[in-house]
Each structure stands twice: as C-alpha cells, then as structure tokens.
C-alpha cells in the first residue's frame, strides 16, 4: 500500500510542478503576443498549481518518513480555486476574493 501511495504522490507532485512551470511559459508567450489578460490568467493558475505542488511535497515527505502528513485547515477560493493551508488570506492572492468567501475543505 505504501508503494502505491508513494507512486501516487510522486506523480501528483510531478504533474503539479510541471503544470505551474508550463503556465509560466505560456504566460510569457501571451505577453509577447500582446495578450496581457491571458498572461495574467496563466500566472494566476500557475500560482495555484505551485501551492498544490508544495502540499503534495509535504505529504510525500511525511509518507517517506513513515508518518501521516499534518496539515492545518485547508481553504479553497470558490471563485478561482486557489487553495491554501492555515488561515484563509484576507484577499485571495489570485482573484482578490474576500476571506469571507473562502470555503473550508
């Protein structure tokens, strides 16, 4: 079972890491093409994907040391999907949604 969990977390981490890097590349290309709104959207998605990768890395590290991952409260912005751990931010770093709109997961 642990091998399967390790493999799943490795794949999830790799996928999220690749995604946030690709979205940054696409954002650069959109800027070069004079599409700042598209670039801003891609950078926002990249920010969310990077947080996801960090959370998978934390879980992966815990599993590798034979422990369960310890997370604080998880908050999700219902507007853009930004996910964070701990306390929800006053404003979403991606879309500026107010803290009161965040949903506890």
Spell out the per-residue pLDDT of the chain, length 105, in tens: 668 888 889 899 999 999 999 999 999 999 999 999 999 999 988 988 998 899 899 998 888 888 888 888 999 999 988 898 889 999 998 889 999 999 998
- Report pLDDT for 1: 60
Residues 36 and 60 in one domain: yes
- Report pLDDT for 35: 97
Residues 59 and 98 in one domain: no
Residues 22 and 60 in one domain: yes
Residues 78 and 38 in one domain: no
Residues 80 and 50 in one domain: no
Instruction: Please indicate, yes or no, whether the overall pTM of this predicted structure exceeds 0.95.
Output: no
- Report pLDDT for 77: 92
Name 65's Cβ contacts closer than 8 Å, sequence gap at least 6.
none
Burial group, residue 7, by CB count within 10 angstroms (0-12, 13-18, 19+)? exposed
Total number of domains constituting the chain: 2
Q: What domain range includes position 31?
A: 1-68
- Hunting for tokens 């853009």 — which residue is that? 80
Helix and strand numbers (H, E) in the chain are 2, 3
Residues 77 and 42 in one domain: no
């Amino acid at each position: 079972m642990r091998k399967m969990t390790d493999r799943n977390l490795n794949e999830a981490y790799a996928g999220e890491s690749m995604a946030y890097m690709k979205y940054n590349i696409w954002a650069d290309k959109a800027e070069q093409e004079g599409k700042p709104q598209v670039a801003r959207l891609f950078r926002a998605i990249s920010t969310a994907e990077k947080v996801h990768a960090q959370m998978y890395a934390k879980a992966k590290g815990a599993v590798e040391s034979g422990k369960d991952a310890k997370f604080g409260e998880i908050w999700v912005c219902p507007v853009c999907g930004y996910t964070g751990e701990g306390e929800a931010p006053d404003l979403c770093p991606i879309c500026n949604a107010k803290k009161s709109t965040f949903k506890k997961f």
